[in-house]
Structure 1
Amino acid sequence: MRNEAVIELSPQEWEDLLQEKDEKLKLALLELADVRKALDKSTIVAITDHRGIIQSANDQFCRISKYSRSELIGQDHRLLNSGHHPKDFFKQMWGTIGSGQIWRGEIRNKAKDDSLYWVDTTIVPFVNQSGKIYQYVSIRSDITARKQMEEDVMKSEEKYRIIAENTSDIISMINADGDFLYLSPSHKTLWEHDVPDEQIQNLLEWIADEDREIMGYAIQYTYSTGKGYMAECRIKTKRETPIWTESKINPIIDEEGNVSSLILVTRDITERKQSEETIHHLAYHDALTDLPNRRMYVQQLTKEIMQAKRFQSNMAVLFLDMDRFKDINDSFGHDVGDMLLIEVAKRLQACVQPGDSVARLGGDEFTILLCQLTDSKQAEAVAELIMSQLQKPFELNGHLVTISSSIGIAMFPQDGENAEDLLKRADTALYSVKSQGRNGYSLFDPTMEAKSLERILMENELRKAIEHEQFQVYYQPKMDIGSQILTGMEALVRWVHPELGVISPGKFIPIAEESGMIIELGEWILKEACKQNKKWHDQGHLLKVSVNLSARQIFQKDLVEMITSTLEELELSSEWLELEITESIFVKMEEATVVLQQLRGAGIHISIDDFGTGYSSFSYIKRLPVDTIKIDASFIRDIHHNQESQAIVKAIVTIADSLQMNVIAEGIELDDQVEALQQNGCIHGQGYLFSKPLATEDFEHFLSNQ
């Protein structure tokens, strides 16, 4: 028998013990009250019986559901059913809690005002001593904001998925090795293949061999710098030739600031590249004869000069034009004249050796570069051969045409050590031949550089003409060629000499530019044109006037100030003035760009005149603040029956559109030319079909008819 110790407590000790237990009970009840208060403020709590009938609902339940407590008590949760969940959802829930297990899930409920809300729900079943469930306690948290955010994210992801899968561009994600992590379905259309997606593993495998290094560098650059990159490369497809693509590559940065992968947006630029190639060819070749133009010839000449200096060899530059070519145009028409130029180009090429160059500078002017000569006798022999070949009759469109030619020759190194000097002195020698009766050739001689008496007299008369304002401004309309609505006019100067009559601008403008008088003359023309345009504006004719600006004027110091002050003085808004510049400014690209940006900043429009005749290149145009390109008349003359001219015009229009520039065609004379221009996207033009240049009074009559 075990002995047990009996602890006897005094009455006071019993009282203290009871008091301690009472204090602990009070604290426990207080803690429970605090927990309940916290739950009521933050959590939805409901108690139902074993059938799901609500027995108790806290304040948070009432606030979220917008039902009063009396409206909830005695109801089951079907009162809150939003219809969002299928029957199987609740069947599974009841199956779980009916078996005595805790159920957790997200439920979309409907409040009393029909608004919808989401709750994260936990339902706990309670079992009595008999093992039967007698009630359920549900604890819910409002997650409506989170679900809305998730829904917004899903919609956003779906939107971008739809865009990615339906855009004509290829959207892809790659890693540092070029392996595809994602590739949009559009690649099948763009790349024209039926290779299964699982076989398309790496981007670089689809890049043309010669461009693979370019794309590899682009990937490496973007990964290493975290900066975007634009790459152009060719993609191999089922086509005979690869397609050109442009890929905008952007990095995806992870939480640690590292590049985790790359996003590429790739598009087909084959048509654009073809247009650019056409324009590039145009920039360096004469459209009619396909010979190198001045720009390409000067580059080739400069290159050969460097070689000749290195190997101490001799070269010759021949400057040639056809005697009285204008008479052939006047007698047989421009079409025959063009055919003659083409045939002359062929005969010139047949007269030179491989390695020599023949180029057309414009009009009937050609230049020939002869390399690796021993002396000037060889150059003279080639000149004699050319003259004899060109004197043979040409059969052109049923006409027999006979011509002669004049040739000037400059030798390297004695006559000049750079391209500009050689061309200038060959031209001087040519001028000497023509002044002595044409049909011959001459080597350059330093005495030829003295000005001729005729030129001296012309220069003196021009000074007097500027002083006495013997000039008039004529205006040639610019038209919408489809509707034949007047859209503007070009201001053209005419010299009306009191004794000699009207003198062609072709004669006095070059002298004005060389002597510097073009500065004063150009300022007078601009002020007269703007003054007259202001008068027409006051009469209700809101038109833009175009004024030609020579290369020499572009580089005068106070040009921008002079023009803006003129407009302010006349109260003519700058938007109604357009300045037409020639491609010769490309020689001093950086200086010209600064001036043109200042003019453009003042609101004045800029136009490139006679586009395609000299230094044309869209790589230069892209860098200039230019609004309009004027296609030279030489491309318009035969556009109605020459597919090459049509292709050139279409290419110019395509590139101009991509650069957001306007296009206007010069020299329109036939309705067929208008139709061909419209078919190739050109909608503005000027030419004799609409009107010749008109004196002020005659132009006002033209305005009245409009």
Structure 2
Amino acid sequence: MRQEAVMELSPQEWEELLQEKDEKLKAALQELADVRRALDKSSIVAITDHRGIILSANDQFCRISKYSRSELIGQDHRLLNSGHHPKAFFKQMWATIGSGQIWRGEIRNRAKDGSMYWVDTTIVPFVDQQGKITRYVSIRSDITDRKNMEEELQRSQEKYRIIAENTSDIISMVDERGDFLYLSPSHRMLWEHEVPNGQIQNLFGWLEEDDREIMDYAIRYVYSTGKGYMAECRIRTERGTPIWTETKLNPILDEAGNVSAVLLVTRDITDRKLSEETIHHLAYHDALTDLPNRRMYIQHVTKEIMQAKRFQSNMAVLFLDMDRFKDINDSFGHDVGDLLLIETARRLQACVEQGDIVARLGGDEFTILLRQIKEQPQAEMVAQRIMAELQKPFDLNGHLMSISCSIGIALFPQDGDQAEDLLKRADTALYSVKSQGRNGYAFFDPTMEAKSLERILMENELRKAIEQEQFHIYYQPKMDIATQQLTGMEALVRWIHPELGVISPGRFIPVAEETGLIVELGEWILREACKQNKKWQDEGHQLKVSVNLSARQIFQKDLVEMVTRILGETGLAPAWLELEITESIFVKMEEATVVLKQLRDAGIQISIDDFGTGYSSFSYIKSLPVDTIKIDASFIRDIHHNQESQAIVKAIVTIADSLQMNVIAEGIELDDQAEALQQNGCVHGQGYLFSKPLATADFEHFLLNR
């Protein structure tokens, strides 16, 4: 407004103008008061002169610094110096504000009581009309909680960095293509690769080519499902020899919950895989002769039958055993008998064509598959060749001996179109040869399948024995090999016939299995063993009793209910019962797993009996709910002087330890065997060295003596 216009205003207009300006000034002052009030409530505000001497401090400043206003006024900020920041930090700050510029930063201060706090600080310089700095206004926000969280996070990150860089496992992160986002330094020790800085490589380039598809699937699975995955792959090293690794893959999620990367924890399992390969070979091969065992032989025959059906070709199965082999064992000992079996295996292999299969079923029993024979005389020629070859003298550790053999022959397709049927009918033909005086061969004839009178009588007597309770339970102790401490006992059934005396389990158990009587007999054995163990428990003997279950019992529908019912009736706690199963259950792996898990859930322990004699493989064992592995006596017999047997036992113990399973050796007869078992890590055992199976009264005497 021009001066002339102002002078022309009337008194009333002057009053209105002054009132308007007064209201604007009040509003501006109120706004400044509101800002100051808000600033005081939320921030630390201080005013210093150009030297940094505090001229003014708000309530927030006093509260957080724990100094009163009078203690702050007239002091400089060195009063609050925590010693955390270097001199260069404050030198740079003063250079900035001294040049008239605003400075921003985070400062750690010390309160009056010695506690530390962090403030996010802005310092604004104010200048006069001549451009000289007259004072500084500092506005600070308390960020102590945030800084504490950051420090805690940093400590956590440092802790996990130390773990990642020093663990023997390989910690890494990869993207969807397998490119490394992070790789812990421990890879150098395991893979023997160096990764230069800035040259992180792709995971697939280090994998064996045949295993890349496995890892590719694993990564894609984690990305697509957001779930973890376990993979086993071989890694190439600079040595040229691949190593086996086990990798656990887990998703890393972003804020939106999407998979942004995959975390891999990789460990070297080469030793375990080598042990598993040893066990796998053992599962499919005879330990003494290294020939295929029954399991592998049946698989081969089944495969060849499919081929023969396709091409309409013929085959022959030969079942062979050596005549009076038991006499050789009894006269010269098992070592000579084993040498005879090894040499027999070698001669049998020399009698057949390439592609034909020779297998050992156990004892002195061998079987041979002749592939693609055109007519019966070809099988007859091979049988004659075998008999002639085995009749040549054997020189075994200075002992010269000649043996004969008996051979049964079944032909495909006329005698059967299943592997087990052909083997069974070849065995029937073999039995016919033996009944006629041995040292010969015979082809299967349907009339041979008629049951022998002895078999019929055995079945009838077995039924009567169950009704009349002619059976008795004997107990064989289980011992700690080193301390000779009794750790448990195995319940073994014995048949004492009123007229025939003691009948070997080897004679009546197979009949019971075939007829199904084993189910009724097995329930009686379990009840008697639990009842007796409960009695011993009440007398102060805290021991676990082991009871054998046949494959037929495992697959009976009410097994779990029957076992738990007997435990309830006898009052024996489940923890004091162990059920021993044979490897034959692996034929029906899925069904067996369900039953065994139910038994384990009931608190009952599970043991694999006669481990290594036919079906077992740790690829099966590690997925089964099993507590104990019993090493078969065939591996213990020569462990004190056979390095291969020692290696097999050590491999079993090593893998069992890694799977947190117990190991017990059976058939220990010599002190040297017990010592060799201890040296190879086996703690528990049973056998005649400690005690033969004992009747109940004798076992009670054994308990009292212990």
Structure 1 length-normalised TM: 0.96
Q: Which amino acid aligns with 2:586?
A: F
Provide, for residues 278-314 of structure 1, a one-character-per-residue CA deviation record: whole Å limited to 9, x for no partner. 1111111111100000110000000111111111111
Q: Which residue of 2 aligns with 1:241?
A: 241
Q: Which amino acid aligns with 2:590?
A: E
What secondary structure is seen at the aligned counterpart in 1 of 2:694? coil
Provide, for residues 71-98 of structure 1, a one-character-per-residue CA deviation record: whole Å limited to 9, x for no partner. 2222222221111112222222223223
Change (3 A) 1:180 1:3: closer
Structure 1, unaligned stretches of length 5 or more?
none
8 Å Cα contact 2:294-2:359 kept in structure 1: yes
Provide, for residues 461-498 of structure 1, a one-character-per-residue CA deviation record: whole Å limited to 9, x for no partner. 22222222112111111111121211110011111122
Q: Which residue of 1 aligns with 2:305?
A: 305
Aligned counterparts of 1:156 and 1:90: Cα–Cα separation in 2: 30
Change (3 A) 1:394 1:478: same
Q: Which residue of 1 aligns with 2:146?
A: 146
Q: Which residue of 2 aligns with 1:207?
A: 207
Aligned counterparts of 2:196 and 2:65: Cα–Cα separation in 1: 53
What secondary structure is seen at the aligned counterpart in 2 of 1:400? strand
Aligned counterparts of 1:200 and 1:63: Cα–Cα separation in 2: 52
Structure 1 position 542 matched with structure 2 position 570: no
Structure 1 position 289 matched with structure 2 position 289: yes
Deviation at 1:558, TM superposition (A): 2.4
Q: Does 601-610 or 320-329 show the bigger shift? A: 320-329
Deviation at 1:422, TM superposition (A): 0.7
Q: Which amino acid aligns with 1:29?
A: L
Q: Which residue of 1 aligns with 2:415?
A: 415
Structure 1 position 400 matched with structure 2 position 406: no
Q: How does 1:674-693 map to 2 (within 5 A)?
A: 674-693=674-693
Provide, for residues 176-228 of structure 1, a one-character-per-residue CA deviation record: whole Å limited to 9, x for no partner. 43333332211221112456455653322222233334334444444455444
Aligned counterparts of 1:149 and 1:565: Cα–Cα separation in 2: 58
Aligned counterparts of 1:633 and 1:3: Cα–Cα separation in 2: 125
Q: Which residue of 2 aligns with 1:424?
A: 424
What secondary structure is seen at the aligned counterpart in 2 of 1:188? helix
Structure 1 position 70 matched with structure 2 position 61: no
Q: Does 364-373 or 320-329 show the bigger shift? A: 320-329
Q: Which residue of 1 aligns with 2:529?
A: 529
Q: How does 1:186-585 map to 2 (within 5 A)?
A: 186-193=186-193, 196=196, 201-255=201-255, 258-585=258-585
Q: Which amino acid aligns with 1:148?
A: N
Change (3 A) 1:46 1:198: closer
Q: Which residue of 2 aligns with 1:645?
A: 645
8 Å Cα contact 2:195-2:201 kept in structure 1: no
Superposition CA RMSD, Å: 2.0
Q: Which amino acid aligns with 1:396?
A: L
Q: Which residue of 2 aligns with 1:53?
A: 53
Provide the identity percentage.
Answer: 83
Change (3 A) 1:564 1:249: closer
8 Å Cα contact 2:231-2:248 kept in structure 1: yes
What secondary structure is seen at the aligned counterpart in 1 of 2:234? strand
Deviation at 1:255, TM superposition (A): 4.1
Q: Which residue of 2 aligns with 1:80?
A: 80
Deviation at 1:7, TM superposition (A): 4.5
Change (3 A) 1:212 1:598: closer
Aligned counterparts of 1:21 and 1:546: Cα–Cα separation in 2: 105
Q: Which residue of 1 aligns with 2:704?
A: 704
Deviation at 1:4, TM superposition (A): 5.8
Change (3 A) 1:219 1:463: closer
Aligned counterparts of 1:4 and 1:566: Cα–Cα separation in 2: 121
Deviation at 1:268, TM superposition (A): 1.6
Aligned counterparts of 1:227 and 1:562: Cα–Cα separation in 2: 39
Q: May I ask how many residue pairs the two structures share in their alignment?
A: 705
Aligned counterparts of 1:30 and 1:294: Cα–Cα separation in 2: 100
Aligned counterparts of 1:184 and 1:590: Cα–Cα separation in 2: 40
Q: Which amino acid aligns with 2:571?
A: E
Q: Does 3-12 or 510-519 show the bigger shift? A: 3-12
Provide, for residues 314-359 of structure 1, a one-character-per-residue CA deviation record: whole Å limited to 9, x for no partner. 1111111122222222222221121111111111111111111110
8 Å Cα contact 2:168-2:186 kept in structure 1: yes
What secondary structure is seen at the aligned counterpart in 1 of 2:319? strand
Aligned counterparts of 1:200 and 1:112: Cα–Cα separation in 2: 51
Change (3 A) 1:191 1:365: same
Q: Which amino acid aligns with 1:322?
A: M
Q: Which residue of 2 aligns with 1:617?
A: 617
Structure 2, unaligned stretches of length 5 or more?
none
Provide, for residues 217-272 of structure 1, a one-character-per-residue CA deviation record: whole Å limited to 9, x for no partner. 44444445544443322222132421122233334344455544433322222111
Change (3 A) 1:211 1:587: closer
Aligned counterparts of 2:515 and 2:178: Cα–Cα separation in 1: 62
Change (3 A) 1:697 1:683: same
Q: Which amino acid aligns with 1:234?
A: R
Q: Which residue of 1 aligns with 2:10?
A: 10
8 Å Cα contact 2:181-2:200 kept in structure 1: no
What secondary structure is seen at the aligned counterpart in 2 of 1:630? strand
Change (3 A) 1:17 1:369: same
Provide, for residues 137-196 of structure 1, a one-character-per-residue CA deviation record: whole Å limited to 9, x for no partner. 111100101111111221122122212221212222333433333322112211124564
Provide, for residues 566-619 of structure 1, a one-character-per-residue CA deviation record: whole Å limited to 9, x for no partner. 111111101111111111122222222222222222111111111111111222
Q: Which residue of 2 aligns with 1:597?
A: 597
Aligned counterparts of 2:515 and 2:219: Cα–Cα separation in 1: 56
Deviation at 1:370, TM superposition (A): 0.9
Q: Which residue of 1 aligns with 2:172?
A: 172
Aligned counterparts of 2:262 and 2:464: Cα–Cα separation in 1: 70
Q: Which amino acid aligns with 2:67?
A: Y
Structure 1 position 162 matched with structure 2 position 162: yes
Aligned counterparts of 1:649 and 1:241: Cα–Cα separation in 2: 26
Q: Which amino acid aligns with 1:586?
A: F
Change (3 A) 1:671 1:200: farther
Aligned counterparts of 2:571 and 2:605: Cα–Cα separation in 1: 17
What secondary structure is seen at the aligned counterpart in 2 of 1:215? helix
Deviation at 1:70, TM superposition (A): 1.8
Q: Which amino acid aligns with 2:294?
A: R
Q: Does 411-420 or 191-200 show the bigger shift? A: 191-200
Aligned counterparts of 1:282 and 1:628: Cα–Cα separation in 2: 18
Q: Does 428-437 or 123-132 show the bigger shift? A: 123-132
8 Å Cα contact 2:406-2:441 kept in structure 1: yes
Structure 1 position 608 matched with structure 2 position 625: no
Aligned counterparts of 1:590 and 1:224: Cα–Cα separation in 2: 28
Runs of 4+ in 1 over 6 A off after TM superposition: none
Q: Does 564-573 or 393-402 show the bigger shift? A: 393-402
Q: Which amino acid aligns with 1:448?
A: M
Change (3 A) 1:70 1:477: same
What secondary structure is seen at the aligned counterpart in 2 of 1:421? helix
Q: Which amino acid aligns with 2:470?
A: Q
Q: Does 509-518 or 167-176 show the bigger shift? A: 167-176
Q: Which residue of 2 aligns with 1:21?
A: 21
